[in-house]
Amino acid sequence: MTGRAVVEVVRQNGVQDERELQRALDEAAACGGGRVVVGPGEWQLREAPLRVHAGTR
């Protein structure tokens, strides 16, 4: 898949926030880059840092 993606990520109760955020970053990268829009709320990151791929913001 190529092009630019806009991926929205919404906080999921019971799901580790960093996994959902990383999934969105990876999805945007798979589309050739793009933007990840983070929804409102408190996000808790407990594990390793997130990887932001080239072309993704």
Is residue 2's pLDDT more than 60?
A: no
Q: Which domain holds residue 27?
A: 1-57
What was the pLDDT predicted at 1? 46
For residues 51 and 46, which has the higher predicted lDDT (pLDDT)? 51
Q: Three-state DSSP class for 8?
A: strand
What was the pLDDT predicted at 48? 73
Q: Give which of 5, 4, 18, 6 is closest to 51, Cα–Cα.
A: 18
- Cα(2)–Cα(17) distance, integer angstroms: 27
Q: What is the mean pLDDT of residues 27-47?
A: 85
Burial class (CB in 10 A: 0-12, 13-18, 19+), 33: middle
pTM of the model: 0.76
Q: How does DSSP classify residue 56?
A: B
- Count of structural domains, the chain: 1
Q: How far is CA 28 from the centre of its chain?
A: 8
Q: Binning pLDDT at 50, 70 and 90, where does residue 20 land?
A: confident
